[in-house]
Amino acid sequence: MAGMSTSEKSSAETLATPVQFLKGVGPARCELLERLGLRTVSDVLFFFPRDYQDFSDERDAGELEEGKLQSVRGVVEEIELRSTGAGGCVLGVLVRSAGGYLRGVWFNQPFMQEKFSHGQRVMLSGKPKYEGLVWVMRHPRFETLADEEDEPAGEILPVYPLTEGLQQWQMRKIVRGVVETHSDLLEEVFPQSYLDEHALWPLRRALPQIHFPDDHASLERARRRFVYQELFILQLALAVKRRQQHDQRRSPVLEATAKIDARIRRLFPFELTAGQKQTISEIAADMSAATPMNRLLQGDVGSGKTVVAVYAMLLAVAHGYQAAMMAPTEVLARQHVLTLEKLLAASQVRRVQFTGGLPPKQRRATVEQIVAGEVDVVVGTQAIIQDDVAFDKLGLVVIDEQHKFGVRQRATLKHAGLDPHYLVMTATPIPRTVTMTLFGDLDVSTLRDSPPGRQPVNTYCVGEEKRAGWWEFFRKKLRDGRQAYIVTPLVDESEQLAAASLEATYETLANGELEAFRLGLIHGRMSPAEKDAAMDDFRRGEIQALVCTSVVEVGVDVPNATLMAIEDAQRFGLAQLHQLRGRISRGSYPGFCCAFADPQTEEAAERLRAFTSTTDGFELAETDFRLRGPGDLFGTQQHGLPPLRIADLLRDNEVLDEARRDAHALIAADPGLSNPDHAKLRERVVKRYGKALEVGDVG
């Protein structure tokens, strides 16, 4: 490489140098850096700032202007914390600069007092206002300036994640030294022509600017380079995965002939919606190919996903293959079994329920039937993927509420012969950018419309002052013959405490507002048999109101249940609230949902406002994503993908679109990334996602 005297190998070795040997680190600080995952020079180079502090407009206190973002450095002279009554407080910190005084003020943040000491050198940044003969900044950002540090003036400074014992100025000094001495050793992953075509800064130009930008424009250009690269590599990996599934695996050809289609549709005692017809068409086209279907079926609550899944399972059975449906809970598996019983009562399809709660003798007999091919459709929980369960001729796997299984990879069911087709279902609408990433190796079908005759749900969010009026309305509806859910949150990770809270609610209602009605109880600590018994009583109408936890969130289908009260609704997520509400939109009567809440934060209040303003799950999913952000979507525990280092799916959705288009175009032109110009990209794909997505054999 130009300007380097070392070989390519020695450059790689230099970048792999342990951080202990960097100037100013040593054994003690090395241990702190390792807590942050920084073990080598390369790790430090790509340890991106989590934020920036803008000190680019630095002034003395005598030069300040109102309303502009400015910075002042000086020495702390006074620290005063005083009460404002009703539990409030205000912290004032007086700083002397070369041109006068500046006061920093923080309201209701007493912990900030510990961050300051008399004689301390600090930098405050904010929009000042002149109040009572002194300049004041409310809630300014501040930086501690150490005596050892020769902090350059007028900069946009990086803010790095830290660990106890490591200060921001120390981290900056380490990173600055590594960037200055080692960034020229880095190899570019993109060909020069690609950089030019996509207006991307070269790596060696972008890296110093992502850490210590000259100005805001440079920071944006540098950040765009690394965001694009991160999302592009991810999309390349997903595109490679899709192509490998298509090119390297073989599945049974299960064509929906006119005769088979007519036989299946005759089993449905209702007209399919336009959305169901469209998704069935997409699924049938996939299953008629000799390559495995890998499709995500997402739909709003009550949109009829189960009927679409039943069609797909019957299509497999019609060709002599077995179908398996896996649900996250026994309650949901039981609901699917009941749906199948209704639809297949007049058919000869052999079906069985397989869950962890089966008695040993019955379990052994069921396993023997599955292995021998004496069962056509198996509906169950994770019990299906135990070591002793092997399918004779598996044609289709349906995974319901896939995100609740806690793993990114599709379930692997033991089978002989060809690979089965896979249909992954979720009743939780997924934000578009998440679909393009976490589920980027799947084709997507979407159900938006509801079956005809479904009634709307009226949603209210109220405080304690409206409780008596709600229960009066509630009792009237129960006397009219309707049924209801009363949902309480999990107040603790302990199921025992949750159940105790639930039982307290049950006792209060049974001896008070609902003493004239038949109440039931269901929660996570009950045995499968107890849950089934309670749900059966509820379906038959023997229980008028069911006091429950969010165990009823998904899948429970009782059309006559049209009332729901949700206690402490601020404790639930927006998607969970929407799923709960979906339980009372199953029949021909209008639903009524009352959320009792006392939101303590603006985010909780906005979440509840969104919940009451729309019943569109896709709109709510985007709102929830905006409020919460991406969070740990890529956490290894849930999805198996490495976390994103710099990209933000909320902020960078346009870059994601661009990276996805470009990745698909590149894989279409060079499926195995075998072009020498793409060798570095191929290395990055395998290193970053080879294990998680099983794409170690690119090409």
CB-CB contact of 432 with 284 (8 Å): no
| Whole-number Å distance between alpha carbons of 646 and 210 | 10
Residue 498: pLDDT band with limits 50, 70, 90: low
Q: pLDDT value at position 598?
A: 85
Residue 407 confidence (pLDDT) above 50: no
294-299 sheet: strands from edge to edge: 351-354, 377-380, 322-326, 394-400, 421-426, 294-299, 443-447
By the 10 Å C-beta count (0-12 exposed, 13-18 middle, 19+ buried), 278 is classed as middle
pLDDT over 70 percentage in the chain: 90
pLDDT above 70 for 410: no
Rounded CA-CA distance 554/329 in Å is 9
Q: How far is CA 585 from CA 42, 332, 484, 610, in A?
A: 54, 17, 12, 18
- pLDDT classification of 403: cutoffs 50, 70, 90: low
The whole-number pLDDT of residue 350 equals: 93
CA distance 164 to 147: 20
pLDDT at 7 over 50: no
Between CA 225 and CA 227 the distance in angstroms is 6
Residue 687: partners with Cβ closer than 8 Å, 6 or more residues away = none
> Per-residue pLDDT tens for 120-130?
999 899 999 99
Amino acid (1-letter code) at residue 490: L
641 versus 527: which is more confidently predicted?
527
Q: Give me the DSSP letters along 32-72.
A: HHHHTT--BHHHHHT---SEEEE-SSB--GGG--TTS-EEE
Q: Evaluate if residue 389 carries a pLDDT over 70.
A: yes
Distance, in Å, from the CA atom of 55 to the CA atom of 460, rounded to the nearest integer, reads 47
- The answer to whether 211 and 49 have CB atoms below 8 angstroms apart is yes
Residue 620, C-beta contacts closer than 8 angstroms, at least 6 positions apart: 429, 574, 575, 578, 610, 611, 614
Residue whose token pair is 């479904």:
454
Cα separation, 450 vs 275, whole angstroms: 8
Pairing of strands 519-522, 141-144: unpaired
Per-residue pLDDT reduced to its tens digit, 532-550: 888 889 989 999 999 988 7
Nearest to 168, CA basis, from 347, 75, 314, 36? 36
pLDDT digits (tens, 9 = 90+) for 272-293: 999 999 999 999 999 999 999 9
Domain edges within the chain: 57-154, 258-288+303-426, 457-614
Checking if the pLDDT of 266 tops 50, the result is yes
- Pinpoint the alpha helices (H) of 614-671: 617-628, 653-669
pLDDT bucket at 147, cuts 50 / 70 / 90: low
Is CATH 3.40.50.300 the classification given to domain 457-614? yes
> How many angstroms separate the CA atoms of 385 and 356, rounded?
11
Would the pLDDT of 5 be above 50? no
Report the topology of domain 57-154: OB fold (Dihydrolipoamide Acetyltransferase, E2P) (2.40.50)
The pLDDT confidence band at residue 451, using thresholds 50, 70 and 90, is confident
Of 399-403, 447-451, 579-583, which has the strongest mean pLDDT? Answer: 579-583
Q: How many CB atoms neighbour CB 437 within 10 A? A: 23
Q: Candidates 3.20.20.70, 3.30.230.10, 3.90.1150.10, 3.40.50.300; correct CATH number of 258-288+303-426?
A: 3.40.50.300
Which of 153-167, 430-444, 489-503 has maximum average pLDDT?
153-167
> Matching CATH topology for 258-288+303-426 and 457-614?
yes
In this predicted structure, the answer to whether residue 628 has a pLDDT above a threshold of 70 is yes
What is the predicted pLDDT for the residue at 526? Answer: 80
Give the Cα separation of 242 and 422 in Å (integer): 13
Cα-Cα end-to-end distance for the chain: 27
User: What are the tokens at 496?
Assistant: 């025992």
**Helix, strand, coil in percent for the chain, rounding step 5:** 40, 20, 40
Contact criterion met (CB below 8 Å) for 60 and 21 = no
> Phi first, then psi: what are they for 183, rounded to 5°?
-65, -25
Supply the mean pLDDT for the chain: 85
**Mean pLDDT on 317-328:** 93
The CA distance from 118 to 134, in Å, is 19
pLDDT of 99? 82
pTM: predicted TM-score of the whole model, two decimal places = 0.71
Mean pLDDT of 567-596: 88
pLDDT band at residue 408, thresholds of 50, 70 and 90? very low
Tokens of 277: 């017809």
Facing residues of 135 across strands?
102, 130
Quick one: pLDDT at residue 412?
62
Distance CA 100, CA 62 (A): 6
